[in-house]
Amino acid sequence: MRETKYWTWHMAAGVVIFFLLGLHMLIMHLGGTTHLFAPFGGEAVSKVNSVFRDGRLFFTVTYILLLGVALYHGLYGLRTILFELTLKPIVEKLVTFVFVVLGLGLFGLGTWAAIVVHAIAKTGARG
């Protein structure tokens, strides 16, 4: 039952990613067409446009949310693929442990960065 629950979360995370990463793609990779959230013109990934988005609470919150659900979805997906090789139970536990540590570590790093750049952008220190 526990694995069924994790699998359901995996699917639910995929639905959340569909919308949040879809928005991210519309902004960053289709920016020349959509011109979304890039008020300074030029490339959507330019420093001024990045700082503009970092200063918006909406982006800080959705970056952190996307970070969490995407890490879960990706690492759980990889874990599922690896487990299909019929690993020994001790190896399965080790894989799970490594992925949990890796996921939490990267989530911590990304969350810290999102909060720091939001604070910096609010002060206007980077234009």
Angle between helices 57-83 and 89-123 (to 10 degrees): 170
Amino acid sitting at position 22: G
Q: Any contact of residue 78 with other proteins (CB under 8 A)?
A: yes
Q: Is residue 106 a contact point for other proteins (CB under 8 A)?
A: yes
CB of 54 to other proteins, least distance (A): 8
String marking each residue 43-62 x if it binds other proteins according to CB under 8 A = x-xxx--x---x--------
Q: Does 110 bind other proteins (CB under 8 A)?
A: yes
Which of residues 32 and 39 has its CB atom nearest to other proteins in the complex? 32
Distance CA 53, CA 38 (A): 8
Between 5 and 58, name the residue whose CB sits nearer to other proteins. Answer: 5
DSSP 23: H
Return the HEC string of 46-98: CHHHHHHHHCCHHHHHHHHHHHHHHHHHHHHHHHHHHHCCCCCHHHHHHHHHH
Contact 72, 13 (CB under 8 A): yes
117 binds other proteins (CB under 8 A): yes
Count other C-beta atoms under 10 Å from residue 42's C-beta. Answer: 12
Binding site for other proteins (CB under 8 A): 1-3, 11, 14-15, 17-18, 21-22, 25, 29-33, 43, 45-47, 50, 54, 67, 70-71, 74-75, 77-78, 81, 84-86, 106, 109-110, 112-113, 116-117, 120, 126
